[in-house]
Amino acid sequence: MITTELERLSVEAGHITLASKTVLPERVHIALRRQQELRYGENPHQAAALYVPAGRAPEGLAAAKQLQGKELSYNNFVDLEAARSLAAEFKKPAAVIIKHNNPCGSAEQETLCDAYLRAYACDPISAFGGVLAFNTVVDAATAEEVAKLFVECIVAPGFDEKAKTIFGAKKNLRLLELPPGGLEPERELQLKRILGGMLVQQPDLGELRDAELRTVTMRVPTPEEMLTMRFAWKVSKHVKSNAIVFARDSATVGVGAGQMSRVDSVKLAVMKAQGPLQGSVVASDAFFPFPDGVEEAAKAGATAVIQPGGSMRDGDVIGAADRLGLAMVFTGVRHFLH
């Protein structure tokens, strides 16, 4: 359990809520107990275990009930949390496919089955051996489609009886059922170990507000473009930087992750797309430092871009968007994920 010595931080139901003007605590105390030994760590020669806060009941993914399948590994939990946290962003039925801690497909649709099919269509090759998350109870129609693919793990708020029967034929498939509240955003301070110390930060929370969005181009995005840009923006928050997400009709159609230059993330997303990108929108987790990324997106068929803005060359980037007939929206918020 994380506790602090600052009155500016309140602990409610085991969660730390930070005041409007955040001052991180001078001291952070952590008390954990080992809950579960894991199959292995990031690699088979590394031992690993799941620890949970001492003195309170487990929550979230740590409290998920494993319904079937092999023992979980360290990587399974890392990917399951990445999948769960992205699925938690959506209100309509949504499906997320994670591979090596990055979304290779995500969609929010009217039915869960449609959401899965759209997510899978984004990158079927990478989806093989992936980890899936759903934000609502998995039904038989969705299970039948998922069962056609080899996947490592699935996490969801529940599975209906027919879905359990379908997945039951795959004995090694790890099936996890989230507890109530398992799709809540992570609100505790985030910790990352470095040699000799610990980095501590707030979680990346908050939704886009209309008042914070600023159209900076001559062309204003259509309502349809704006809807899908909001979807793509949510996904970009969960893609390793540099992150570029192409989307259409609230489904990803191309994802570029983890590149050292933003234009290369655009090119990678275009390369991995399974079909034409004409009419798609693009989300970027940070500003475009040069016009080249926007030019590559437009060349691929994108019609609108959502990004934080804030580059020294914003004027050049906006000028390129106007020249190419793109709509561009600034959020003023960056979503780096390392």
Picking from 326, 319, 334, the residue whose alpha carbon sits closest to that of residue 287 is: 334
Residue 268 lies in a domain: yes
Phi, psi of 90 (to 5 degrees): -110, 150
**Looking at 123, 157, 177, which one is the last position of a domain?**
177
pLDDT tens by residue, 250-270: 999 999 999 999 999 999 999
The answer to whether residues 246 and 229 touch, using CB atoms and an 8 Å cutoff, is: no
Residue 5 lies in a domain: no
Rounded to whole angstroms, the Cα distance separating 209 from 120 reads 30
**In terms of domains, do 216 and 296 share one?**
yes
Report pLDDT for 22: 65
Report pLDDT for 221: 98
Residue 289 lies in a domain: yes
**Looking at 125, 158, 177, which one is the last position of a domain?**
177
Torsion of CA 109, 112, 114, 118, to 10 degrees: 80
Q: Domain count for the chain, please give it.
A: 2
**In terms of domains, do 167 and 216 share one?**
no
pLDDT tens by residue, 201-216: 999 987 888 888 999 9
The answer to whether residues 242 and 283 touch, using CB atoms and an 8 Å cutoff, is: no
**In terms of domains, do 136 and 77 share one?**
yes
**In terms of domains, do 84 and 165 share one?**
yes
**In terms of domains, do 171 and 220 share one?**
no
Report pLDDT for 16: 41
The range of the structural domain enclosing residue 171 comes to 55-177
Write out residues in the chain with pLDDT < 70, as ranges: 1-22
The answer to whether residues 305 and 285 touch, using CB atoms and an 8 Å cutoff, is: no
**In terms of domains, do 169 and 277 share one?**
no
**In terms of domains, do 173 and 238 share one?**
no
**In terms of domains, do 146 and 226 share one?**
no
**In terms of domains, do 66 and 135 share one?**
yes
**In terms of domains, do 245 and 305 share one?**
yes
**In terms of domains, do 156 and 235 share one?**
no
Report pLDDT for 209: 87
Beta bridge partners of 153: 131, 174
**In terms of domains, do 71 and 136 share one?**
yes
CB atoms closer than 10 angstroms to residue 279: 15
Phi, psi of 245 (to 5 degrees): -125, 120
